[in-house]
Structure 1
Amino acid sequence: MTDIISASELAGESAGPRPPVLLDVRWQLSAAGGGAQRAAYEEGHIPGAVFVDLDAELAAPAGAGGRHPLPDPEVFGAAMRAAGVSADRDVVVYDGGQGWAAARAWWLLRYSGHPSVRVLDGGLPTWTGEKEQKVPVPTPGDFTPKPGALPLLDADAAAALARTGLLLDARAGERYRGEVEPIDRVGGHIPGAVSAPTTENVAEDGRFLPPAELLARFTALGVVPAGSGEQEVGVYCGSGVSGAHEVLALAVAGVPAALYAGSWSEWSADPDRPVATGPERG
Protein backbone atom coordinates (compact mmCIF):
# COMPACT_ATOMS: atom_id res chain seq x y z
CA MET A 1 0.00 0.00 0.00
CA THR A 2 1.44 3.35 -1.07
CA ASP A 3 0.30 6.81 -0.04
CA ILE A 4 -0.83 7.96 -3.49
CA ILE A 5 -2.99 6.40 -6.20
CA SER A 6 -3.41 7.22 -9.88
CA ALA A 7 -6.77 7.92 -11.51
CA SER A 8 -6.59 4.70 -13.52
CA GLU A 9 -5.86 2.67 -10.40
CA LEU A 10 -8.74 4.35 -8.60
CA ALA A 11 -11.11 3.58 -11.49
CA GLY A 12 -10.15 -0.07 -11.29
CA GLU A 13 -10.57 -0.29 -7.53
CA SER A 14 -13.87 1.61 -7.63
CA ALA A 15 -15.27 -1.03 -9.98
CA GLY A 16 -14.21 -3.83 -7.64
CA PRO A 17 -16.22 -5.70 -5.02
CA ARG A 18 -15.08 -3.47 -2.14
CA PRO A 19 -14.39 0.02 -3.49
CA PRO A 20 -12.59 2.56 -1.33
CA VAL A 21 -14.41 5.30 0.53
CA LEU A 22 -13.99 8.49 -1.50
CA LEU A 23 -13.62 11.89 0.15
CA ASP A 24 -13.77 15.12 -1.86
CA VAL A 25 -11.83 17.80 0.03
CA ARG A 26 -11.83 20.63 -2.48
CA TRP A 27 -10.63 23.80 -0.78
CA GLN A 28 -8.73 26.96 -1.65
CA LEU A 29 -6.49 29.00 0.64
CA SER A 30 -8.18 32.28 1.45
CA ALA A 31 -6.96 35.12 3.62
CA ALA A 32 -10.58 35.69 4.64
CA GLY A 33 -11.14 32.03 5.52
CA GLY A 34 -14.01 29.89 4.29
CA GLY A 35 -12.09 28.17 1.51
CA ALA A 36 -14.26 25.04 1.22
CA GLN A 37 -15.68 24.48 -2.26
CA ARG A 38 -18.94 22.62 -1.72
CA ALA A 39 -20.56 24.36 -4.70
CA ALA A 40 -17.90 22.94 -7.01
CA TYR A 41 -18.48 19.49 -5.50
CA GLU A 42 -22.22 19.75 -6.17
CA GLU A 43 -21.53 20.68 -9.79
CA GLY A 44 -19.75 17.39 -10.33
CA HIS A 45 -17.64 14.87 -8.39
CA ILE A 46 -16.31 11.36 -8.68
CA PRO A 47 -19.25 8.97 -8.23
CA GLY A 48 -19.77 8.08 -4.61
CA ALA A 49 -17.47 10.76 -3.20
CA VAL A 50 -18.57 12.52 -0.01
CA PHE A 51 -17.69 16.17 0.51
CA VAL A 52 -15.54 17.06 3.52
CA ASP A 53 -15.22 20.67 4.67
CA LEU A 54 -11.58 21.33 5.60
CA ASP A 55 -12.32 24.42 7.68
CA ALA A 56 -15.15 22.83 9.67
CA GLU A 57 -14.21 19.15 9.83
CA LEU A 58 -10.43 18.96 9.37
CA ALA A 59 -9.58 21.88 11.65
CA ALA A 60 -10.66 23.50 14.88
CA PRO A 61 -11.62 27.18 14.94
CA ALA A 62 -8.71 29.55 14.42
CA GLY A 63 -7.12 30.90 17.56
CA ALA A 64 -3.95 30.72 19.61
CA GLY A 65 -3.08 27.42 17.93
CA GLY A 66 -3.03 28.99 14.47
CA ARG A 67 -5.40 29.35 11.54
CA HIS A 68 -6.08 25.61 11.19
CA PRO A 69 -5.49 23.92 14.55
CA LEU A 70 -6.02 20.18 14.67
CA PRO A 71 -9.69 19.31 15.15
CA ASP A 72 -11.03 17.79 18.33
CA PRO A 73 -10.74 14.00 17.82
CA GLU A 74 -14.44 13.52 18.60
CA VAL A 75 -15.49 16.13 16.04
CA PHE A 76 -13.14 14.68 13.44
CA GLY A 77 -14.22 11.11 14.17
CA ALA A 78 -17.90 11.99 13.88
CA ALA A 79 -17.27 13.68 10.52
CA MET A 80 -15.35 10.70 9.21
CA ARG A 81 -17.97 8.19 10.37
CA ALA A 82 -20.69 10.30 8.75
CA ALA A 83 -18.68 10.16 5.51
CA GLY A 84 -18.62 6.36 5.69
CA VAL A 85 -15.06 5.88 6.94
CA SER A 86 -14.39 2.59 8.71
CA ALA A 87 -11.14 1.25 10.11
CA ASP A 88 -11.14 -1.81 7.84
CA ARG A 89 -11.92 -0.08 4.55
CA ASP A 90 -9.52 1.77 2.23
CA VAL A 91 -9.93 5.53 1.91
CA VAL A 92 -8.98 7.71 -1.07
CA VAL A 93 -9.04 11.49 -0.77
CA TYR A 94 -8.82 14.07 -3.54
CA ASP A 95 -9.14 17.79 -4.11
CA GLY A 96 -9.16 20.17 -7.05
CA GLY A 97 -5.60 19.37 -8.06
CA GLN A 98 -3.30 21.34 -5.78
CA GLY A 99 -3.15 18.41 -3.38
CA TRP A 100 -2.85 20.43 -0.17
CA ALA A 101 -6.36 19.82 1.17
CA ALA A 102 -6.31 16.14 0.24
CA ALA A 103 -2.97 15.79 2.01
CA ARG A 104 -4.44 17.41 5.13
CA ALA A 105 -7.17 14.74 5.19
CA TRP A 106 -4.60 12.02 4.50
CA TRP A 107 -2.37 13.21 7.33
CA LEU A 108 -5.22 13.53 9.84
CA LEU A 109 -6.55 10.07 9.09
CA ARG A 110 -3.09 8.51 9.26
CA TYR A 111 -2.22 10.48 12.42
CA SER A 112 -5.49 9.26 13.92
CA GLY A 113 -4.62 5.63 13.26
CA HIS A 114 -6.32 4.76 9.97
CA PRO A 115 -4.11 2.14 8.28
CA SER A 116 -5.00 2.67 4.62
CA VAL A 117 -5.38 6.17 3.19
CA ARG A 118 -4.21 7.38 -0.22
CA VAL A 119 -4.31 10.67 -2.10
CA LEU A 120 -5.43 10.80 -5.73
CA ASP A 121 -2.24 11.96 -7.43
CA GLY A 122 -2.99 15.16 -9.33
CA GLY A 123 -6.50 15.39 -7.91
CA LEU A 124 -9.80 15.66 -9.76
CA PRO A 125 -8.28 17.03 -13.02
CA THR A 126 -6.70 13.61 -13.62
CA TRP A 127 -10.06 11.81 -13.41
CA THR A 128 -11.34 10.98 -16.90
CA GLY A 129 -14.32 8.88 -15.87
CA GLU A 130 -17.86 9.99 -15.25
CA LYS A 131 -18.77 12.62 -12.70
CA GLU A 132 -22.05 12.90 -10.88
CA GLN A 133 -24.04 15.62 -9.16
CA LYS A 134 -25.98 13.27 -6.89
CA VAL A 135 -24.95 13.70 -3.26
CA PRO A 136 -24.56 10.21 -1.78
CA VAL A 137 -25.86 9.19 1.62
CA PRO A 138 -23.17 6.79 2.84
CA THR A 139 -23.65 4.04 5.36
CA PRO A 140 -22.09 5.40 8.56
CA GLY A 141 -18.61 4.08 9.30
CA ASP A 142 -17.05 2.93 12.54
CA PHE A 143 -13.73 4.81 12.52
CA THR A 144 -12.63 6.02 15.95
CA PRO A 145 -9.56 8.29 15.97
CA LYS A 146 -6.58 7.25 18.06
CA PRO A 147 -4.24 10.25 17.68
CA GLY A 148 -0.49 9.79 17.70
CA ALA A 149 0.17 7.35 14.87
CA LEU A 150 2.30 9.96 13.05
CA PRO A 151 4.83 12.32 14.68
CA LEU A 152 3.59 15.77 15.62
CA LEU A 153 5.55 18.86 16.65
CA ASP A 154 4.56 21.78 18.83
CA ALA A 155 6.28 25.18 18.65
CA ASP A 156 9.03 24.31 21.12
CA ALA A 157 9.77 20.99 19.43
CA ALA A 158 9.91 22.70 16.02
CA ALA A 159 12.39 25.25 17.34
CA ALA A 160 14.56 22.48 18.79
CA LEU A 161 14.41 20.43 15.60
CA ALA A 162 15.59 23.41 13.56
CA ARG A 163 18.76 23.29 15.67
CA THR A 164 19.29 19.54 16.02
CA GLY A 165 17.74 18.00 12.93
CA LEU A 166 16.12 19.34 9.77
CA LEU A 167 13.05 21.58 9.77
CA LEU A 168 11.62 22.30 6.31
CA ASP A 169 9.49 25.37 5.56
CA ALA A 170 6.94 24.40 2.89
CA ARG A 171 5.75 27.94 2.09
CA ALA A 172 6.71 30.00 -0.93
CA GLY A 173 10.27 31.29 -0.83
CA GLU A 174 9.25 34.95 -0.62
CA ARG A 175 7.21 34.27 2.52
CA TYR A 176 10.11 32.32 4.05
CA ARG A 177 12.49 35.20 3.33
CA GLY A 178 10.03 37.70 4.80
CA GLU A 179 9.68 39.70 1.58
CA VAL A 180 5.88 39.40 1.68
CA GLU A 181 3.34 38.08 4.15
CA PRO A 182 -0.23 38.16 2.84
CA ILE A 183 -1.91 36.39 5.75
CA ASP A 184 0.00 36.18 9.01
CA ARG A 185 1.17 38.87 11.46
CA VAL A 186 4.77 39.02 10.27
CA GLY A 187 6.91 37.53 7.51
CA GLY A 188 10.00 35.40 7.89
CA HIS A 189 10.75 31.92 9.20
CA ILE A 190 11.67 29.89 12.24
CA PRO A 191 15.41 30.38 12.83
CA GLY A 192 17.37 27.48 11.39
CA ALA A 193 14.57 26.24 9.12
CA VAL A 194 15.33 25.41 5.49
CA SER A 195 13.21 26.77 2.64
CA ALA A 196 11.54 23.89 0.76
CA PRO A 197 8.45 25.12 -1.13
CA THR A 198 5.96 22.30 -1.50
CA THR A 199 5.14 23.48 -5.02
CA GLU A 200 8.51 22.10 -6.12
CA ASN A 201 7.46 18.53 -5.21
CA VAL A 202 5.07 18.25 -8.14
CA ALA A 203 5.16 18.47 -11.92
CA GLU A 204 3.19 21.02 -13.93
CA ASP A 205 0.13 18.75 -13.95
CA GLY A 206 0.09 18.59 -10.16
CA ARG A 207 1.29 15.01 -9.92
CA PHE A 208 4.15 14.19 -7.58
CA LEU A 209 7.62 13.85 -9.02
CA PRO A 210 8.91 10.26 -9.13
CA PRO A 211 10.17 8.99 -5.74
CA ALA A 212 13.82 9.06 -6.83
CA GLU A 213 13.53 12.71 -7.92
CA LEU A 214 11.81 13.64 -4.68
CA LEU A 215 14.50 11.92 -2.66
CA ALA A 216 17.21 13.72 -4.63
CA ARG A 217 15.49 17.03 -3.94
CA PHE A 218 15.20 16.40 -0.23
CA THR A 219 18.75 15.09 -0.01
CA ALA A 220 19.97 18.35 -1.56
CA LEU A 221 18.02 20.19 1.14
CA GLY A 222 19.78 18.26 3.88
CA VAL A 223 17.84 15.02 4.34
CA VAL A 224 20.18 12.21 5.29
CA PRO A 225 19.55 9.13 3.12
CA ALA A 226 18.30 6.04 4.91
CA GLY A 227 21.12 4.04 6.43
CA SER A 228 23.46 7.03 6.62
CA GLY A 229 22.64 7.95 10.21
CA GLU A 230 19.77 8.97 12.43
CA GLN A 231 18.00 12.20 11.58
CA GLU A 232 14.69 13.76 12.54
CA VAL A 233 12.86 15.68 9.82
CA GLY A 234 10.01 18.10 10.43
CA VAL A 235 7.82 20.30 8.25
CA TYR A 236 5.79 23.44 8.78
CA CYS A 237 3.95 25.84 6.50
CA GLY A 238 1.46 28.64 7.02
CA SER A 239 -1.23 26.77 8.94
CA GLY A 240 -0.58 23.04 8.66
CA VAL A 241 -2.18 22.40 5.25
CA SER A 242 0.55 22.65 2.60
CA GLY A 243 2.94 21.25 5.22
CA ALA A 244 0.90 18.04 5.21
CA HIS A 245 1.47 17.89 1.45
CA GLU A 246 5.22 18.10 2.03
CA VAL A 247 5.02 15.33 4.64
CA LEU A 248 3.21 13.28 1.98
CA ALA A 249 5.92 14.05 -0.59
CA LEU A 250 8.55 12.94 1.92
CA ALA A 251 6.59 9.72 2.51
CA VAL A 252 6.51 9.07 -1.25
CA ALA A 253 10.30 9.51 -1.19
CA GLY A 254 10.58 7.08 1.71
CA VAL A 255 11.40 9.68 4.38
CA PRO A 256 9.30 9.83 7.57
CA ALA A 257 8.66 13.35 8.83
CA ALA A 258 6.83 15.14 11.62
CA LEU A 259 4.35 17.98 11.07
CA TYR A 260 4.27 21.20 13.07
CA ALA A 261 0.51 21.63 12.76
CA GLY A 262 0.32 25.15 14.23
CA SER A 263 2.97 26.25 11.74
CA TRP A 264 3.79 29.88 10.99
CA SER A 265 0.31 31.13 11.88
CA GLU A 266 0.85 29.94 15.46
CA TRP A 267 4.56 30.79 15.66
CA SER A 268 4.26 34.33 14.32
CA ALA A 269 1.26 35.16 16.53
CA ASP A 270 3.53 35.02 19.59
CA PRO A 271 5.71 38.17 19.64
CA ASP A 272 8.14 36.48 22.03
CA ARG A 273 9.17 33.89 19.44
CA PRO A 274 12.16 34.80 17.26
CA VAL A 275 11.72 35.51 13.56
CA ALA A 276 14.46 35.15 10.94
CA THR A 277 14.42 36.74 7.49
CA GLY A 278 16.45 36.40 4.35
CA PRO A 279 17.90 33.24 2.71
CA GLU A 280 19.04 31.71 6.01
CA ARG A 281 19.62 27.96 6.13
CA GLY A 282 20.45 27.71 9.83
Structure 2
Amino acid sequence: MTSQTFRNSVLVGVQELGRAVSADGTRVLDVRWALGRSDGRELYLQSHIPGAVYVDLDTELAGHAGPGSGRHPLPDVAALQASARRWGIDDGDDVVVYDAGPSTSAARAWWLLRWAGIANVRILDGGFAAWTRSGRPVETGETSVEAGDVTLREGGQPTVDADGAARFAEAGRLVDARAAERFRGEVEPVDPKAGHIPGARNFPTSALLAEDGTFLADDELRSALIDHVGNGTDVGAVYCGSGVTAAHVIAGLNILGMEAALYPGSWSQWSNDSTRPVATGPESATGGHCE
Protein backbone atom coordinates (compact mmCIF):
# COMPACT_ATOMS: atom_id res chain seq x y z
CA MET A 1 0.00 0.00 0.00
CA THR A 2 1.16 3.53 -0.73
CA SER A 3 1.29 6.27 1.88
CA GLN A 4 -1.78 7.91 0.31
CA THR A 5 -3.64 4.60 0.50
CA PHE A 6 -2.86 4.31 4.21
CA ARG A 7 -4.09 7.87 4.81
CA ASN A 8 -7.23 7.34 2.76
CA SER A 9 -8.05 4.19 4.72
CA VAL A 10 -8.15 6.23 7.95
CA LEU A 11 -9.33 9.72 6.94
CA VAL A 12 -11.94 11.29 4.70
CA GLY A 13 -11.89 14.94 3.70
CA VAL A 14 -14.77 17.38 3.65
CA GLN A 15 -15.14 17.35 -0.13
CA GLU A 16 -15.29 13.56 -0.37
CA LEU A 17 -17.74 13.31 2.51
CA GLY A 18 -19.89 15.97 0.89
CA ARG A 19 -20.26 13.67 -2.11
CA ALA A 20 -20.86 10.61 0.04
CA VAL A 21 -23.58 11.90 2.39
CA SER A 22 -26.18 11.55 -0.35
CA ALA A 23 -25.01 8.09 -1.38
CA ASP A 24 -26.60 4.87 -0.20
CA GLY A 25 -24.44 2.73 2.05
CA THR A 26 -22.67 5.56 3.87
CA ARG A 27 -23.58 6.10 7.52
CA VAL A 28 -22.32 9.26 9.26
CA LEU A 29 -21.95 9.27 13.06
CA ASP A 30 -21.64 12.39 15.21
CA VAL A 31 -19.44 11.61 18.24
CA ARG A 32 -19.05 15.04 19.84
CA TRP A 33 -17.68 14.51 23.36
CA ALA A 34 -15.04 16.08 25.59
CA LEU A 35 -13.71 15.28 29.04
CA GLY A 36 -15.76 17.14 31.63
CA ARG A 37 -18.55 18.09 29.22
CA SER A 38 -21.95 16.49 28.68
CA ASP A 39 -23.46 18.70 25.98
CA GLY A 40 -22.62 16.59 22.93
CA ARG A 41 -26.25 15.75 22.15
CA GLU A 42 -27.30 19.38 22.59
CA LEU A 43 -24.62 20.49 20.14
CA TYR A 44 -25.76 17.80 17.71
CA LEU A 45 -29.40 18.91 17.92
CA GLN A 46 -28.38 22.51 17.26
CA SER A 47 -26.38 21.66 14.14
CA HIS A 48 -24.94 18.56 12.51
CA ILE A 49 -23.90 17.10 9.16
CA PRO A 50 -27.00 16.13 7.13
CA GLY A 51 -28.02 12.55 7.85
CA ALA A 52 -25.67 12.13 10.80
CA VAL A 53 -26.81 10.10 13.81
CA TYR A 54 -25.67 11.06 17.30
CA VAL A 55 -23.53 8.56 19.24
CA ASP A 56 -22.98 8.90 22.97
CA LEU A 57 -19.40 7.97 23.83
CA ASP A 58 -19.99 7.35 27.54
CA THR A 59 -22.96 5.01 27.15
CA GLU A 60 -22.61 3.52 23.66
CA LEU A 61 -18.86 3.40 23.00
CA ALA A 62 -17.87 2.17 26.46
CA GLY A 63 -18.89 -0.41 29.04
CA HIS A 64 -19.59 0.13 32.71
CA ALA A 65 -16.86 2.19 34.35
CA GLY A 66 -15.15 1.10 37.53
CA PRO A 67 -11.77 1.27 39.30
CA GLY A 68 -10.90 -2.21 38.13
CA SER A 69 -11.77 -1.62 34.48
CA GLY A 70 -11.20 2.10 33.91
CA ARG A 71 -13.44 5.00 32.94
CA HIS A 72 -14.15 3.84 29.38
CA PRO A 73 -13.71 0.06 29.19
CA LEU A 74 -14.64 -1.67 25.95
CA PRO A 75 -18.37 -2.35 25.69
CA ASP A 76 -19.85 -5.81 25.39
CA VAL A 77 -19.92 -6.55 21.67
CA ALA A 78 -23.63 -7.50 21.79
CA ALA A 79 -24.48 -4.13 23.31
CA LEU A 80 -22.34 -2.36 20.71
CA GLN A 81 -24.09 -4.30 17.94
CA ALA A 82 -27.49 -3.22 19.27
CA SER A 83 -26.30 0.39 19.27
CA ALA A 84 -24.83 0.12 15.77
CA ARG A 85 -28.12 -1.23 14.48
CA ARG A 86 -29.95 1.71 16.08
CA TRP A 87 -27.56 3.99 14.21
CA GLY A 88 -28.76 2.36 10.99
CA ILE A 89 -25.58 0.48 10.08
CA ASP A 90 -25.95 -2.49 7.73
CA ASP A 91 -23.35 -5.10 6.90
CA GLY A 92 -21.10 -3.69 4.18
CA ASP A 93 -21.82 -0.03 4.91
CA ASP A 94 -19.12 2.60 4.80
CA VAL A 95 -19.03 4.54 8.08
CA VAL A 96 -17.71 8.06 8.67
CA VAL A 97 -17.26 9.37 12.21
CA TYR A 98 -16.67 12.94 13.31
CA ASP A 99 -16.59 15.13 16.40
CA ALA A 100 -16.21 18.86 16.94
CA GLY A 101 -12.52 18.54 16.01
CA PRO A 102 -9.69 17.57 16.44
CA SER A 103 -11.14 14.04 16.06
CA THR A 104 -10.03 12.52 19.36
CA SER A 105 -13.45 11.19 20.37
CA ALA A 106 -14.24 10.31 16.75
CA ALA A 107 -11.07 8.21 16.79
CA ARG A 108 -12.55 6.16 19.65
CA ALA A 109 -15.55 5.31 17.44
CA TRP A 110 -13.24 4.62 14.49
CA TRP A 111 -11.08 2.24 16.49
CA LEU A 112 -13.98 0.53 18.30
CA LEU A 113 -15.97 -0.17 15.15
CA ARG A 114 -12.88 -1.61 13.49
CA TRP A 115 -12.27 -3.70 16.61
CA ALA A 116 -15.85 -4.95 16.18
CA GLY A 117 -15.27 -5.99 12.58
CA ILE A 118 -16.43 -3.06 10.43
CA ALA A 119 -13.70 -2.67 7.82
CA ASN A 120 -14.66 0.60 6.14
CA VAL A 121 -14.64 3.20 8.92
CA ARG A 122 -13.01 6.59 8.42
CA ILE A 123 -12.58 9.78 10.43
CA LEU A 124 -13.63 13.16 9.04
CA ASP A 125 -10.30 14.99 9.11
CA GLY A 126 -10.72 18.15 11.16
CA GLY A 127 -14.20 17.20 12.37
CA PHE A 128 -17.29 19.37 12.34
CA ALA A 129 -15.14 22.48 12.49
CA ALA A 130 -13.66 21.62 9.09
CA TRP A 131 -17.13 20.93 7.70
CA THR A 132 -18.55 24.29 8.80
CA ARG A 133 -15.42 26.21 7.71
CA SER A 134 -16.02 24.92 4.21
CA GLY A 135 -19.55 26.34 4.18
CA ARG A 136 -21.21 22.93 3.88
CA PRO A 137 -24.91 22.54 4.73
CA VAL A 138 -26.03 21.47 8.20
CA GLU A 139 -29.21 20.12 9.75
CA THR A 140 -30.88 20.61 13.12
CA GLY A 141 -32.88 18.23 15.28
CA GLU A 142 -32.79 14.46 15.42
CA THR A 143 -32.10 12.30 12.35
CA SER A 144 -34.46 9.36 11.99
CA VAL A 145 -32.99 6.21 10.42
CA GLU A 146 -34.21 2.68 9.83
CA ALA A 147 -32.60 0.06 12.03
CA GLY A 148 -29.64 -1.68 10.47
CA ASP A 149 -28.69 -5.34 10.39
CA VAL A 150 -24.93 -5.20 10.98
CA THR A 151 -23.33 -8.17 12.73
CA LEU A 152 -20.35 -7.37 14.96
CA ARG A 153 -17.66 -9.58 16.44
CA GLU A 154 -14.81 -8.48 18.65
CA GLY A 155 -11.10 -8.88 17.96
CA GLY A 156 -10.60 -6.88 14.77
CA GLN A 157 -7.97 -4.66 16.44
CA PRO A 158 -5.27 -5.70 18.95
CA THR A 159 -5.54 -4.86 22.64
CA VAL A 160 -3.38 -5.39 25.72
CA ASP A 161 -4.19 -5.55 29.41
CA ALA A 162 -2.18 -3.92 32.22
CA ASP A 163 0.40 -6.70 32.26
CA GLY A 164 0.82 -6.43 28.50
CA ALA A 165 1.22 -2.66 28.74
CA ALA A 166 3.91 -3.16 31.39
CA ARG A 167 5.82 -5.54 29.11
CA PHE A 168 5.70 -3.07 26.22
CA ALA A 169 6.89 -0.32 28.58
CA GLU A 170 9.85 -2.43 29.68
CA ALA A 171 10.77 -2.84 26.02
CA GLY A 172 10.45 0.91 25.36
CA ARG A 173 7.48 0.34 23.05
CA LEU A 174 4.61 1.85 25.08
CA VAL A 175 3.29 5.31 24.18
CA ASP A 176 1.27 7.61 26.46
CA ALA A 177 -1.09 9.84 24.45
CA ARG A 178 -1.96 12.32 27.22
CA ALA A 179 -0.83 15.92 27.46
CA ALA A 180 2.79 16.31 28.57
CA GLU A 181 1.92 17.86 31.94
CA ARG A 182 -0.30 14.91 32.83
CA PHE A 183 2.37 12.47 31.68
CA ARG A 184 4.96 14.17 33.90
CA GLY A 185 2.56 14.10 36.85
CA GLU A 186 2.32 17.88 37.25
CA VAL A 187 -1.48 17.80 37.05
CA GLU A 188 -4.11 15.08 37.22
CA PRO A 189 -7.70 16.31 36.83
CA VAL A 190 -9.50 12.96 36.96
CA ASP A 191 -7.57 9.92 38.14
CA PRO A 192 -6.36 9.07 41.68
CA LYS A 193 -2.63 9.30 40.98
CA ALA A 194 -0.54 11.59 38.80
CA GLY A 195 2.25 10.33 36.57
CA HIS A 196 2.73 7.62 33.97
CA ILE A 197 3.54 3.96 33.48
CA PRO A 198 7.30 3.53 34.07
CA GLY A 199 9.13 3.20 30.76
CA ALA A 200 6.37 4.77 28.65
CA ARG A 201 7.15 7.53 26.16
CA ASN A 202 4.95 10.57 25.71
CA PHE A 203 3.41 11.28 22.30
CA PRO A 204 0.47 13.64 23.02
CA THR A 205 -2.35 13.76 20.51
CA SER A 206 -1.79 17.49 19.97
CA ALA A 207 1.57 16.67 18.37
CA LEU A 208 -0.23 14.90 15.51
CA LEU A 209 -2.22 17.93 14.45
CA ALA A 210 -1.90 20.99 12.27
CA GLU A 211 -3.18 24.36 13.51
CA ASP A 212 -6.59 23.77 11.91
CA GLY A 213 -7.10 20.49 13.79
CA THR A 214 -6.43 18.19 10.83
CA PHE A 215 -3.77 15.50 10.90
CA LEU A 216 -0.30 16.57 9.83
CA ALA A 217 0.99 15.62 6.40
CA ASP A 218 2.80 12.29 6.35
CA ASP A 219 6.34 13.67 6.48
CA GLU A 220 5.45 16.06 9.32
CA LEU A 221 3.64 13.31 11.19
CA ARG A 222 6.64 11.00 10.86
CA SER A 223 8.93 13.76 12.13
CA ALA A 224 6.66 14.34 15.13
CA LEU A 225 6.72 10.63 15.91
CA ILE A 226 10.51 10.53 15.73
CA ASP A 227 10.79 13.66 17.90
CA HIS A 228 8.66 12.12 20.64
CA VAL A 229 9.31 8.40 20.40
CA GLY A 230 12.67 8.06 18.70
CA ASN A 231 13.97 7.21 15.27
CA GLY A 232 13.15 3.65 14.27
CA THR A 233 11.20 2.90 17.45
CA ASP A 234 8.52 0.28 16.97
CA VAL A 235 5.43 1.37 18.92
CA GLY A 236 3.76 -1.72 20.33
CA ALA A 237 0.90 -0.29 22.37
CA VAL A 238 -0.74 3.03 23.25
CA TYR A 239 -2.64 4.23 26.31
CA CYS A 240 -4.08 7.52 27.59
CA GLY A 241 -6.42 8.48 30.40
CA SER A 242 -9.24 6.07 29.60
CA GLY A 243 -8.67 4.61 26.13
CA VAL A 244 -10.15 7.47 24.09
CA THR A 245 -7.31 9.70 22.86
CA ALA A 246 -5.01 6.67 22.57
CA ALA A 247 -7.14 5.69 19.58
CA HIS A 248 -6.24 9.04 17.99
CA VAL A 249 -2.53 8.21 18.20
CA ILE A 250 -3.23 4.74 16.76
CA ALA A 251 -5.02 6.47 13.86
CA GLY A 252 -1.92 8.60 13.30
CA LEU A 253 0.27 5.49 13.32
CA ASN A 254 -2.08 3.78 10.85
CA ILE A 255 -1.75 6.77 8.52
CA LEU A 256 1.98 6.00 8.47
CA GLY A 257 1.33 2.31 7.83
CA MET A 258 2.08 1.28 11.43
CA GLU A 259 -0.04 -0.85 13.76
CA ALA A 260 -0.24 -0.69 17.56
CA ALA A 261 -2.39 -2.24 20.27
CA LEU A 262 -4.70 -0.26 22.56
CA TYR A 263 -4.59 -0.58 26.34
CA PRO A 264 -8.31 0.07 27.00
CA GLY A 265 -8.07 0.44 30.78
CA SER A 266 -5.29 3.00 30.37
CA TRP A 267 -4.23 5.29 33.21
CA SER A 268 -7.70 5.25 34.81
CA GLN A 269 -7.28 1.53 35.47
CA TRP A 270 -3.53 1.51 36.16
CA SER A 271 -3.65 4.35 38.70
CA ASN A 272 -6.42 2.63 40.68
CA ASP A 273 -4.29 -0.48 41.22
CA SER A 274 -2.07 0.00 44.28
CA THR A 275 0.28 -2.75 43.09
CA ARG A 276 1.22 -0.87 39.91
CA PRO A 277 4.29 1.41 39.96
CA VAL A 278 3.95 5.06 38.97
CA ALA A 279 6.62 7.25 37.42
CA THR A 280 6.72 11.05 37.43
CA GLY A 281 8.82 13.63 35.65
CA PRO A 282 10.07 13.54 32.07
CA GLU A 283 10.59 10.24 30.34
CA SER A 284 13.94 8.58 30.65
CA ALA A 285 15.54 5.20 30.25
CA THR A 286 13.99 4.22 33.58
CA GLY A 287 10.71 5.99 32.99
CA GLY A 288 11.24 8.83 35.46
CA HIS A 289 10.99 8.74 39.23
CA CYS A 290 9.06 5.69 40.41
CA GLU A 291 6.80 5.49 43.44
Q: Under TM normalisation by the shorter chain, which class is it?
A: over 0.9
CA RMSD of aligned residues (A): 1.6
Q: Does 1:58 align with 2:65?
A: no
Q: Does 1:239 align with 2:239?
A: no
Partner of 2:117: 113
Q: Are 2:21 and 2:51, in contact at CA under 8 Å, matched by a contact in 1? A: no
1:216 and 1:110 mapped to 2: Cα distance? 27
Q: Which amino acid aligns with 2:12?
A: I
1:135 and 1:188 mapped to 2: Cα distance? 41
Q: Which amino acid aligns with 1:3?
A: V
Note the C-alpha offset of 1:149.
Answer: 1.1
Q: Secondary structure at the match of 1:21?
A: strand
Partner of 2:33: 27
Deviations 1:185-231 (A, max 9, x none): 01000010001111110011110001221122223334665xxx9x4
2:262 and 2:246 mapped to 1: Cα distance? 7
Q: Secondary structure at the match of 2:59?
A: helix
Where in structure 1 are there 5+ consecutive unaligned residues? Answer: none
Counting aligned pairs with the same residue, the percent is 48
Q: Are 2:197 and 2:278, in contact at CA under 8 Å, matched by a contact in 1? A: yes
1:2 and 1:78 mapped to 2: Cα distance? 25
The farther-off stretch of 79-88 and 266-275 is 79-88
Q: Does 1:145 align with 2:158?
A: no
Note the C-alpha offset of 1:54.
Answer: 0.4
Runs of 4+ with deviation above 2 angstroms: 219-225
Partner of 1:82: 86
1:223 and 1:73 mapped to 2: Cα distance? 36
Q: Are 1:87 and 1:115, in contact at CA under 8 Å, matched by a contact in 2? A: no
Q: Does 1:184 align with 2:198?
A: no
Q: Secondary structure at the match of 1:61?
A: coil
Q: Secondary structure at the match of 2:80?
A: helix
Q: Which amino acid aligns with 2:27?
A: V
Q: Which amino acid aligns with 2:145?
A: P
1:241 and 1:281 mapped to 2: Cα distance? 25
- The 3 A distance-change label for structure 1 pair 51 and 105 is same
2:174 and 2:165 mapped to 1: Cα distance? 7
**How many positions carry a matched residue from both structures?**
274
Partner of 1:47: 50
Note the C-alpha offset of 1:20.
Answer: 1.3
1:232 and 1:191 mapped to 2: Cα distance? 15
Deviations 1:137-176 (A, max 9, x none): 2121122221111110110000000112511100011111
Partner of 2:165: 158
- The 3 A distance-change label for structure 1 pair 81 and 110 is same
Q: Secondary structure at the match of 1:191?
A: coil
Q: Are 1:81 and 1:142, in contact at CA under 8 Å, matched by a contact in 2? A: yes
Partner of 2:74: 70
Deviations 1:250-272 (A, max 9, x none): 11122111111110000000011
Q: Are 1:77 and 1:143, in contact at CA under 8 Å, matched by a contact in 2? A: yes
Q: Secondary structure at the match of 1:118?
A: strand
Q: Secondary structure at the match of 1:153?
A: coil
Where in structure 2 are there 5+ consecutive unaligned residues? Answer: 1-7, 286-291
Q: Which amino acid aligns with 2:84?
A: M
Note the C-alpha offset of 1:36.
Answer: 5.2
Q: Are 1:36 and 1:55, in contact at CA under 8 Å, matched by a contact in 2? A: no
